[in-house]
């Protein structure tokens, strides 16, 4: 899967942008805080209204109306953080592992959304950064607290549970009671810097 970046006047006005290439899709964050996506949409990972299973030309994700400051892309899901610290997720890639691990419970709507949906469990927090792995996600607050959710198949979420359907705070004692300054994610692991 590939994406074409047309040289239209719109693109010429975007002086800087961040782009993330995931498994089979790409998301872009423009200098003015808009998010665009292209590639496969088989799991709703583009965050676009229902329609085509793939998109060659990047499309604006209209439901993200507030300025976005951070994006992350997993295997079949994506995240965005707005200027006010809200976290949105879309793409159903974490739903299958979640249903297998938690068959007795309904999953939160953000795990099954094909368009941006606010991540519940982070209310009253101001998130500054999000990262994703293949089937897990993490968010770092402006207070230096790290929250994680998704698949814990490799122990990367520091929990005895195999799947965390909602964000769970990693206790400060895991970081020698220091605040987390930065977080990175690999496909099946997390790294935190204090």
CATH of the domain at 134: 2.130.10.30
Residue 156 forms part of a structural domain: yes
Supply 15's token pair.
């002086």
In angstroms, what CA-CA distances link 158 with 127, 132, 149, 162, 181? 20, 15, 10, 10, 18
Share of the chain above pLDDT 90, in %: 82
What is the pTM (predicted TM-score) of this model? 0.90
Q: Does any domain span residue 75?
A: yes
User: Does residue 4 lie within any of the structural domains?
Assistant: no
Q: Mean pLDDT, the chain, as a whole number?
A: 90
**Range from 15-29, 40-54, 57-71, 120-134 carrying the lowest mean pLDDT:** 15-29
Q: Do you know the residue count of the chain?
A: 194
Q: How far apart are CA 68 and CA 55, in angstroms?
A: 21
Among 40-54, 73-87, 119-133, the range scoring the smallest mean pLDDT is 40-54
Q: Write out the residue range of the structural domain in which residue 138 sits.
A: 9-193
User: What's the total number of domains in the chain?
Assistant: 1
- Of the pLDDT bands very low, low, confident and very high (cuts 50, 70, 90), residue 12 is very low
Give the containing element (helix H, strand E) for 68: strand 68-73
- Tokens representing residue 167 in the block: 């964000």
164 Cα distance to chain centroid: 15
Report the pLDDT value the prediction gives residue 141, as an integer from 0 to 100.
98
- In contact, 40 and 25? CB cutoff 8 Å: yes
In a domain, 66, yes or no: yes
Measured from the Cβ of residue 96, the count of other Cβ atoms closer than 10 Å reads 14
- Asked whether the predicted pLDDT for residue 159 surpasses 70, the reply is yes
Residue 15 confidence (pLDDT) above 50: no
Is the per-residue pLDDT at 155 higher than 50?
A: yes
């Amino acid at each position: 899967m590939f994406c074409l970046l047309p040289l239209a006047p719109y693109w010429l006005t975007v002086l800087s942008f961040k782009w993330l290439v995931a498994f089979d899709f790409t998301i872009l964050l423009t200098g003015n805080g808009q998010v665009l996506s292209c590639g496969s949409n088989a799991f709703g990972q583009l965050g676009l209204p229902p329609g085509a299973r793939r998109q060659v030309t990047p499309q604006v994700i209209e439901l993200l109306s507030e300025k976005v400051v951070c994006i992350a892309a997993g295997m079949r899901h994506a995240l965005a953080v707005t200027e006010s610290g809200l976290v949105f997720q879309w793409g159903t890639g974490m739903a299958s592992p979640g249903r297998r691990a938690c068959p007795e419970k309904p999953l939160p709507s953000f795990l099954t959304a094909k368009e941006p949906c606010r991540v519940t469990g982070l209310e009253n927090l101001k998130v500054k950064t999000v990262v994703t792995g293949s089937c897990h996600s993490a968010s770092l607050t402006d207070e230096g607290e790290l929250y994680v959710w998704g698949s814990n198949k490799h122990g990367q979420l520091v929990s005895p549970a195999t799947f965390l359907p909602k964000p769970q705070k990693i206790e400060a004692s895991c970081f020698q009671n220091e605040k987390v300054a930065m977080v990175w994610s690999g496909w099946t692991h997390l790294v935190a810097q204090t």
